[in-house]
Amino acid sequence: MTINIAINSRQVGDELTPTINGRELHRELGVGKDYTNWAKAQIKRGGFIENSDFVVLAQKGVNLAGGRPSAEYHFTVEAGKHIGMLSGTTKGREVREYFLECERRVKSAAVPAVRDARTAALIDALVRQDVLEQEQVRQATELARLQENVAVIEARTQPENKHFTVLGYSNLIGRPVDARTAANFGRKCAALSREKGLVIGDVRDPRFGTVHSYHESVLQEVLAPTTTN
């Protein structure tokens, strides 16, 4: 793993915080998209807050393409790790591991004691952020996994037999229902499926455990009365 991203101490909000140049992160991730639009997309995707997770600096000089000088984005190390994780690529994982390794070296005293105030502040900030960052990453990963599972379940259809869960079908037709209403519909769907001799499927749902899926024709019949009111 060869990553070349400098970590520098920069004022972010009220604190001196370890930061990275967004251009270097963009380069190391091998992103094809132009830098400015990519940086803005990462900020939106990660829900980052200016002067907390990143700072924007106006680039000095003249913009050769015309217009205002381009902006420079400097992300906190924590935000940089989050961007690496969200990239979902091998390079992104390497970048995140690089930042973690920098922190591990600091924590294990792999660097000599320093007298420079700015370097000392950088080290101190890295150590203080580590515990918080690890918990935030864990929560973000778990939330993303849960949301992904829920999205798959609630939008899932089995093309070979057109089975849906009640919640999935109601969302698919643009008429979402709450869990209690879905349970009531589920009981009606189960009874109608047995009456028609149709298969009742089972789907794993991280919120409720195992839930049933029903043939589209059954769901149409049970949910149809609610669409005509």
Within this chain, do residues 67 and 24 fall inside the same structural domain, yes or no?
Answer: yes
Question: Contact, 146 vs 205, CB < 8 A?
Answer: no
Question: Contact, 76 vs 15, CB < 8 A?
Answer: no
Q: What is the mean pLDDT of residues 32-49?
A: 90
Question: Contact, 146 vs 169, CB < 8 A?
Answer: no
- What does the pLDDT look like over 75-92, one tens digit per residue? 999 899 999 888 888 888
- With respect to residue 1, please indicate whether it lies within any of the assigned structural domains: no
pLDDT at 227: 44
Question: Contact, 163 vs 215, CB < 8 A?
Answer: yes
Torsion from C-alpha of 60, 126, 103, 35, nearest 10 degrees:
-30
Question: Contact, 87 vs 144, CB < 8 A?
Answer: no
- With respect to residue 25, please indicate whether it lies within any of the assigned structural domains: yes
Number of C-beta neighbours around residue 20 at 10 A: 25
- pTM over 0.85, yes/no: no
Within this chain, do residues 52 and 142 fall inside the same structural domain, yes or no?
Answer: yes
**What proportion of the chain, given as a percentage, has pLDDT over 90?**
23
Q: What is the mean pLDDT of residues 128-151?
A: 64
pLDDT at 182: 86
- What does the pLDDT look like over 108-135, one tens digit per residue? 654 455 556 666 667 667 766 766 776 6
- With respect to residue 174, please indicate whether it lies within any of the assigned structural domains: yes
Within this chain, do residues 146 and 166 fall inside the same structural domain, yes or no?
Answer: no
Residue with the two structure tokens 């150590």: 127
Q: Number of structural domains, the chain?
A: 2
Within this chain, do residues 59 and 100 fall inside the same structural domain, yes or no?
Answer: yes
Of the residues 125, 150, 175, the one at which a domain ends = 150
Highest mean pLDDT among 32-46, 58-72, 112-126, 174-188: 32-46
Q: 35 Cβ partners below 8 Å, 6+ apart?
A: 22, 23, 26
Within this chain, do residues 70 and 92 fall inside the same structural domain, yes or no?
Answer: yes
Q: What is the mean pLDDT of residues 68-74?
A: 78
- With respect to residue 27, please indicate whether it lies within any of the assigned structural domains: yes
Q: Residue 30 — φ and ψ, nearest 5°?
A: 65, 40
Within this chain, do residues 65 and 162 fall inside the same structural domain, yes or no?
Answer: no
Within this chain, do residues 32 and 80 fall inside the same structural domain, yes or no?
Answer: yes
Of the residues 115, 150, 185, the one at which a domain ends = 150
86, 66, 214: which is closest to 143 by C-alpha? 86
pLDDT at 184: 92
Of the residues 150, 173, 202, the one at which a domain ends = 150
- What does the pLDDT look like over 159-204, one tens digit per residue? 555 788 888 888 777 787 887 888 899 999 999 999 999 989 887 7
Q: In which domain, by residue range, is 166 found?
A: 156-227
Question: Contact, 47 vs 38, CB < 8 A?
Answer: no
